[in-house]
Amino acid sequence: MARRQPVSKSVPGEKIAENIIDIDVTTEMEGSFLEYAYSVIYSRALPDARDGLKPVQRRILYMMSEMGLRPDRGHVKSARVVGEVMGKLHPHGDTAIYDAMVRMAQDWALRLPLIDGHGNFGSLDDGPAAARYTEARLAAPALTLTDHLDEDVVDFVPNYDNQLQQPEVLPAAFPNLLVNGTTGIAVGMATNMAPHNLGEVIAATRHLIAHPDAGLDEIMRFIPGPDLPTGGRIVGLDGIRDAYASGRGSFKTRAKVEVEQLTARRTGLVVTELPYMVGPEKVIEKIKDAVTSKKLQGISDIVDLTDRSHGLRLVIELKNGFNPNAVLAQLYKFTPMEDSFGINNVTLVDGQPRTLGLVELLQVYVAHRLGVVRRRTAYRLRRKKDRLHLVEGLLIAIVDIDEVIQIIRSSDETAQARERLMAVYDLTEIQANHILELRLRQLTKYSRIELEKEQDELRKAIEELEAILGSEQRLRSLVSEELGEVAAKYATPRRTVLLESEAASPLKGAGVAAAAGTTGKGAKAVLPLEIPDDPCWAILSTSGQVARTSDQEPLAEGGQRVRHDVFRSVVKTTARGEIGALTSSGRMIRISVLDLPALPPTAGLPNLAGGVPVKEFMTLGKGEKLVGLVPLNSVLALGTRNGVVKRVSPDYPLNRDDWEAITLKPKDEVVGAAVAAEETDELVFITRSAQLLHFPASTVRAQGRTAGGVAGIKLAADDAVVFFGVVAAEDPDAVVVTVSSTTEALPGTPGGSVKVTPFAEYPAKGRATAGVRAHRFLKGEDSLSVAWAGHGPAKASAGNGVARALPTEHGRRDGSGVPLTNSVDAVGPSQG
């Protein structure tokens, strides 16, 4: 075990020299803090106004350029890039370098990413993988920031240990600060700049180059506002103009939301774009918290369907009966689906932090770019002149090459040969040295031709470069052309929608003022959270589409007609009411009107293309068909195929969703149903053999839902009822439509003839009688395929819902119909 050495002690009485300086603590703290603050401001947090980069970003791009990590080469490990940057240029932690590198590769953070990342570079909700797992290389736009660094376009400064050189600023062939924006927190100040569209920014820059005195209004014609990488909507442009004028301002960003019919009974808000730097997981978390705390109502579920193929898709499912516009207004209020962005254009100009407006930012960039191109042109001019100087010397030597060789061979040393060449041919030292280094293969006759050609090209290039340096206008034109080339190569369409005010931000399928939660004048309007119980129409088309209108305006003719716009049933009801669906088996099914999809308001006929199949609301048995929609609060009249009639009292069970409206005998089925509340209404039967019977509703007393009805019309053998309906008493416009055919015709065969007759021409007969003849068959006809009676005129429909105009003439004098060239399967009321 080693013995411990004794501690030396000072000899008593020995004098020790002391150098103690008294320093005021306040002064020392102020000086040290200012030095630290300046270091943070200048060397870390704030970008340079010329290239829009912070020092760490600039060093990353420069080092990747020096490493040859171009877009046409393979990716390398991010850790390798971080190590090179940290070891040579940026003596700070690897985490800070990697974080800056990752941000430049994220397409949701930068409008024009500068690094092409390979691997997990994170998302708005999650961080990236470690640097040892990811790979990177320069993106194509980054090359325009670092191009021509070898042509003395910018000043180089020593690195932290004075062993290497690094650019003080990058050449920046486009205004990166405006295009990609930036954010940073320094000491006593911070910067926050929004991204913009490359094409718009370059167009404004080119305009400023051509018109140096352009004002803010002119520039804003090209740059109306930010263009965020994630799209979304900017609401209110006053704050943007303030920021462009003074360098400070704010604006509101909103998610892009559309209303979609998720299922037949469910409506949802579908979010496809979110505000800048807001992730879907954050939105989902805030929505769940707001629903739990009862701040948000009307939301039943939220599903994130985002993937790489289709991008962001956040589906917010709404409960039935809630207004999508009102729910969206709540989401904007309580979640990050609406966010504020504060613009603070603090940037370094000549090493000093300044707050700049839009025009000033562009002016600083234009001055920088003019300086870069001027220095590049001067550098190229010097290189061309130097090369021309050498070419001229070579041409002199080649002309008299034999004597040149003799002078060189007869000289004792290189210095003597140089001096003799300079004296004999009046060459400069540079030309003489170049001749001495001449290779034998350059002594051919063809080499002289090449040199003369090169000499002419050099003189033209020198003339062009001198013209650029001698004319400010040509220099500006060159800078503008290069900017135009960048825009043509990398510009993309605008992603963010700019809206003047909230009233200009409608939901799809909703009115402007209602969707935005404001009135047309900008004043706040109170939207009911739940859909009010307003009057409406429930509509069933002949092709089985069902929907409801958003109001109860009269269903007039006109407007854009599409398929499914021929109505079989139209029921007057309210949005929160209930109606019944009657089937051929006599079953009544309760339907909530609120579950039906609402059609947008139109000036003419409602467009049933927004409806859904009725099978989404009910399950029908084998052979069971839907007869029509009926109200549940009125007395109904039902007619069956075997001629039975029944008036049903509206005493339906409240605790059941379906019940029997009539008890049918075997092989019988319901063929029609209509409201017959008035005793004077006429109940109408039309049979297959063209017999028509109508009698007052007063002759049939109302019965309970389990009753089987009474005899309505007397049928001949093998005859059956094809139509049953109700015609209002003394309706002058009521008509009867009959379409004949033959029982041997194949399905889809055109009908034989059609007849349209005023209903008043048919006399009333007693109940349970055979009625009167309604249609005289022509040769080859033996039955009716379609019959209808009601308020006219009417239009007919094939099974696909396409409207067919009926003949205006009533028929022939003999009671037969006129030819019908198109087949007709069903007939709707006059609104159809």
Task: Report the alpha-carbon distance of residue 612 to residue 292 in Å, rounded.
Answer: 33
Residue 193 φ/ψ, nearest 5 degrees: -125, 135
Task: Report the alpha-carbon distance of residue 393 to residue 451 in Å, rounded.
Answer: 10
Question: How far is Cα of residue 162 from the mean position of the Cα atoms in its chain?
Answer: 50
Task: Report the alpha-carbon distance of residue 176 to residue 188 in Å, rounded.
Answer: 25
Residue 339 φ/ψ, nearest 5 degrees: -140, 155
Task: Report the alpha-carbon distance of residue 476 to residue 497 in Å, rounded.
Answer: 33
Q: Hey, is 644 helix, strand or coil?
A: strand
Residue 381 φ/ψ, nearest 5 degrees: -65, -45
Task: Report the alpha-carbon distance of residue 58 to residue 42 in Å, rounded.
Answer: 13
778 in Cβ contact with 752 (< 8 Å): yes
- What's the alpha-carbon Rg for the chain, to the nearest Å? 44
- CA distances to 143, 321, 546 from 593, in Å: 62, 10, 10
Contacts of 582 (CB under 8 A, 6+ apart): 588, 589, 626, 627, 628, 629, 630, 636, 638, 661, 670, 673
Burial of 620 (0-12, 13-18, 19+ CB in 10 A): middle
Task: Indicate if 133 belongs to the active site.
Answer: yes
Beta strands, E only, 205-266: 233-235, 248-254, 256-261
Task: Report the alpha-carbon distance of residue 313 to residue 307 in Å, rounded.
Answer: 8
Amino acid code (one letter) for 324: P
- Which two structure tokens, joined as six digits, stand for 322? 């809630």
Cβ count near 369 (within 10 Å): 25
DSSP state of 593: G
Paired sense of beta strands 267-273 and 256-261, if any: antiparallel
81 in Cβ contact with 67 (< 8 Å): yes
Task: Report the alpha-carbon distance of residue 168 to residue 127 in Å, rounded.
Answer: 31
- Which two structure tokens, joined as six digits, stand for 23? 């320093």
- The catalytically annotated residue of 36, 98, 133, 365 is 133
Question: How far is Cα of residue 628 from the mean position of the Cα atoms in its chain?
Answer: 41
Amino acid code (one letter) for 565: D
- Tokens 């929608």 map to which residue? 497
Task: Report the alpha-carbon distance of residue 743 to residue 281 in Å, rounded.
Answer: 65
Residue 260 φ/ψ, nearest 5 degrees: -130, 150
392 in Cβ contact with 462 (< 8 Å): no
At 537, which helix (H) or strand (E)? strand 535-541
Q: Hey, is 659 helix, strand or coil?
A: strand
Alpha helices in 265-323 (DSSP H): 280-292
Residue 139 φ/ψ, nearest 5 degrees: -80, 160
Task: Report the alpha-carbon distance of residue 269 to residue 298 in Å, rounded.
Answer: 11
- Tokens 């393979």 map to which residue? 74
Residues classed as catalytic: 133
